[in-house]
Amino acid sequence: MNYKQMLRQNKMPHIWCPGCGHGMVLAAFLRALAQKELDPNNVAVISGIGCSSRASGYLDFNTLHTTHGRAIPFATGIKMAKPNLKVIVLTGDGDSTAIGGNHLIHAARRNIDLTVIVFNNNIYGMTSGQYSPLTPHMKLATTAPYGNFDYPFDLVNLAKGAGATFVARGATSQPRHLEKLISQGLDHNGFSLVEVVTQCPTYFGRKNKMGSPVDMLQWQRENTSTSGKEGTIPLGVFVQEERPEYGANYLQLVKTVAEGKSGE
Amino acid sequence: MGNKRLVQGNEACVEGALKAGARFFAGYPITPSTEIAELMAEKLPLVGGVFMQMEDEIASIATIIGASIAGAKALTATSGPGFSLMQENLGFAAMTEVPLVVVNVTRGGPSTGTPTKASQGDFMQARWGCHGDHPVIVLAPSSVQEVYDLTITAFNMAEKYMVPVVLLYDEVVGHLREGVKLASSQAVIDREMPTVSPSEYLPYATGDGLIPKLAPFGSGYRYHMSGLSHDETGFPTSNPATIEKLLIRLNDKIEKNRKDIIKYKAYDLDDAQVIFLAYGSPVRSALQVQKEARARGEKVGLIQLKTLWPFPHELLADVFAATKADFIIPELSLGQLADEVSKSVPQAKITRVNRNDGALITPAQLEQALKGVL
C-alpha cells in the first residue's frame, strides 16, 4: 500500500508552518504503517490538542481529535471496547508530558497495546511558543524570556521507569531510521512509545537563534547519535521486552471468571 | 410482593445499568459513589464487560467516551470533586454527541466538603458545569426503586438523543436500602446505525431530524470526530453559519423534545393551595407531610421532579396558572432549585426550606414551614 493513499487528500494543505518537522514525522509513520497491510477500517488514530494533534484529521482511518492531554485515555477506551482495532496515539511534548503526563505513565504501567508517537519540538507551537516539560534548561520561550529555569524530563527514561515495554527515540534528521523505529513500535504487543525529535523553526528555532529549518536539521545531525556518542541525544531502541498485555490479561480474567475459577 | 430484594441505592444503579446494556465502566474511587465501582468490578467480568479503575476522573470519563465511540454502552460514577474534574470531557461528549451516563452521588461541598453526608449543591453544576452552551439531560431519583428505573431511562435517553446524561442523587438515596423490584418494563433503546453506505456517509448530517447516526469506530465507516466546531463531515470549520447551525442543533435536539424527556410525579394538585416541590431525598419527607396534611383536610400537593434538566418551566407555570398555589421548596443547598423555580413562576410565593449541614430535611421542619404558609 502506498502511504499517500492513507491521507485525506482533500484536507491538504495541512496547517503546519513551512519547515516544520511534523510532516516528516507523519510521513515516516505512514510509511511504517503501510508495510503492515492493515485494513484502514481497523485502524484508529487518536490525538490530543496542539500542532501535532492536528495530524489525525489528515488520515483516512477512524480518527479522533480529543481534549488537551487526554488522547491516551480516549484511546484506552477504544482499545478495550474493540481490541481488534490497531490504536495509535499522535501527540506532542506538551500534550503528552505536561497536561497528559499522568495518563502517559499509567498507560505505560498497564502495558496496554497502544503505540504512542510523541512529536517533540520542545515547545508549545499552537499557542505560539511557550516552554514545555521537554524544553531544555535555559532555552528561550515566550514564557521564558530570561531562559527556561525548569529542568526537562528525559522522556525515554520516564516511559521506561513507568513500565513501557517498548521505548525508542528517533529524529526527523534521520527519517528512514525513524520509520524503522515506528515500525518496530507498531509491531510491539504492549505499550510502545516513540519519541521523535522534530524541529519547530517558527517558535523554538527563531527564539533560540537556531537558523533555518535546514540549520535545525543539521543541529540534530550533530547533536544526536545512534551510537551513544558522549554529549549527544541518544537515538534508537532503549526498551524492548515481552510482558503480558493489559487487554489480553483482562480477556483471560473474564474467561477465568466465566469458568467459575475466580478465588481459587 | 415477590421478586423484591433489599438493595442499596448504588447497587440498584449497577443493576439498572447492566439491565440497560452497559458493558463498560471506568472510574476512580470517591465517597459516596464507590460501591458502584466495586460492584461493577465484580459483575462486569461475569457478563464479558470491561471494568477499569483509572488514574483519575479525567481519565475515567475520557475512557468511557472512547468506549462509547467504539460502540459500547458505558458509564462512570463519581461525586462532587470528581464531577468537577470531568466537566471538560463532559462538554466534549456533548459537542461530539457521544452517548454515556455519568452518575454523580452528591455530597457536601464546596471542595472536599463533607464526603459522607448528603447535599444537593450540584444542581447547577450538573447543568452548567462545563463551558459553552451545551446540551445535557439530568435525572434525579429519590428512592432505590427510582435509581434502578431512572438508570435504565438515563441510558435510553443517552442513546436516543446522542447526549451525555447525568444521574444525580444524594448520598442518602445512594446509601439507602429498600425493597426493590429489579425488573423493568422499559424497552432498552440502542443508538441508530447509519442507513447509507460508507462512501455516502456524513456523520453529523441529520436530514430532517436533529440527531446524528454515529457509526461505532471499526464498523467500516471511517470519519473524523473532533471537539472543535465542525460541519456535517465532522471536520473543523470556522464558517460562522456552520458554527451557529451546529450549536443551535445541539441544543434544539433536547429543547424540542422536552415533552419526552421531562419526567415528574404529581400528587393532589387539582385544588392545592400549597405545593411542595422537591427532588431527591427531600421528596421523602415532603411526601409524608403532604399525606398527613391531606388527611387533616388541608389542600396540599406535591410535585416530585425526576428530570431536573431540561428544567420543567412550562409545567410549573401551568400548575401555578391553574392553582395560584404557594410553593414550599425543601432542598439540601442554599436554594439552587428555588432560584430556578422563581424563573418559572415569578408571581408565586415561594417558601424556601434549606439545610446545608449534611443532615436530612425532616418532616417536622416541613410541618413547621407548612404552618407558616397555611
Per-residue pLDDT in tens (0 to 9) along chain A, 264 residues: 688 899 999 999 999 999 999 999 999 999 999 999 999 999 999 999 999 999 999 999 999 999 999 999 999 999 999 999 999 999 999 999 999 999 999 999 999 999 999 999 999 999 999 999 999 999 999 999 999 999 999 999 999 999 999 999 999 999 999 999 999 999 999 999 999 999 999 999 999 999 999 999 999 999 999 999 999 999 999 999 999 999 999 999 999 998 885 554
Of B144, B163, B181, at which residue does a domain stop?
A: B181
- Residue A200 located in a structural domain: yes
| B contact test, residue of A66, A85, A110, A259 with most B CBs within 10 A | A66
- Domain annotation covers residue A263: no
pLDDT score at A108? 98
Task: DSSP letter for A219, please.
Answer: H
Contact A77, B66 (CB under 8 A): yes
| CATH code of the domain covering residue B101 | 3.40.50.970
What is the tally of helices (H) and strands (E) in chain A? Answer: 9, 9
Preceding peptide of A213 cis, ω within 30°: no
Q: Residues B165, B280: one domain?
A: no
Residue A66 sits in a domain of what CATH number?
A: 3.40.50.970
Model pLDDT, residue A4: 86
> Which of B129, B159, B181 is the last residue before a domain boundary?
B181
CB contact under 8 A, A70 and B24: no
Mean pLDDT of B11-21: 98
Q: Is B42 within the bounds of a domain?
A: yes
Q: How far is CA B133 from CA A61, B128, B161, B251, in A?
A: 30, 8, 17, 8
For residue A261, the model assigns a pLDDT of 59
Own/partner pairs, B84-87, CB within 8 angstroms, 24+ separation: B84/B125, B84/B129, B85/B56, B85/B57, B85/B58, B86/B57, B86/B58, B86/B60, B86/B61, B87/B125, B87/B129, B87/B130, B87/B131
**What gap in Å lies between CA B328 and CA B59, rounded to an integer?**
41
Query: How many structural domains does chain A have?
Result: 1
B230 domain residue, yes or no: no
**pLDDT band at residue B47, thresholds of 50, 70 and 90?**
very high
Question: Is the CB of residue A256 less than 8 Å from the CB of residue B46?
Answer: no
Give residue B221's pLDDT.
Answer: 98
B26 and B165 belong to one structural domain: yes
Mark yes or no for CB contact B62/A77 under 8 Å: yes
User: What is the structure's pLDDT at B104?
Assistant: 98
For A122, phi then psi, to 5°, come to 65, 20
**B215 falls within a domain:** no
Residue B51: which H helix or E strand, with range?
strand B50-53
**Residues B36 and B158 grouped into a single domain:** yes
In sequence order, what E strands does A110-217 have? 115-120, 166-171, 192-197
CATH number at residue B284: 3.40.50.920
Determine whether the interchain pair A77/B26 forms a contact, defined as Cβ–Cβ distance below 8 Å.
yes
Which residues 78-117 on chain A approach chain B with CB closer than 8 angstroms? 78-82, 84-85, 102-103, 106
User: Is the domain of B159 the same as that of B55?
Assistant: yes
Average pLDDT value over all residues in chain B: 97
Instruction: Report pLDDT for A260.
Output: 81
Residue B1 has pLDDT above 60, yes or no: no
Question: In three state form, how does the secondary structure of B211-279 look?
Answer: CCCCCCCCCCCCCEEECCCECCCCCECCCHHHHHHHHHHHHHHHHCCHHHHCCEEEECCCCCCEEEEEC
Q: Is A254 on the interface with B (CB under 8 A)?
A: yes
Per-residue model confidence (pLDDT) at position A263: 52
State the residue range of the domain holding B53.
Answer: 4-181
B174 and B274 within one domain: no
Do residues A52 and A9 touch, judged by C-beta distance below 8 A? no
Last residue of a domain, one of B117, B146, B181: B181
Number of folded domains that form chain B: 2
Question: Is there a single domain that holds both residue B177 and residue B29?
Answer: yes
Domain that holds residue A167: 3-258
Residue A42 contacts B where some CB pair is shorter than 8 Å = yes
Read off the amino acid at residue B241: A
C-alpha cell, B100: 454515556
Is residue A167 in a domain? yes
Distance CA B137, CA A116 (A): 35
Q: In sequence order, which residues have a C-beta less than 8 Å from that of residue B133 and are 6 or more positions away? A: B247, B251
What is the pLDDT, as a whole number, of residue A152?
98
pLDDT of residue B270: 96
Strand order in the sheet with B326-331: B264-267, B300-305, B274-278, B326-331, B350-354
Does the beta-carbon distance from B63 to A80 stay under 8 Å?
yes
Whether ipTM exceeds 0.95: yes
A55 located within any domain: yes
Residues of B in contact with A80 (CB under 8 A): 24, 50, 52, 63, 67
How far is B319 from B314, CA to CA, in rounded Å? 9
* B10/B141 same-domain check: yes
pLDDT tens column, B157-183: 999 999 999 999 999 999 999 999 999
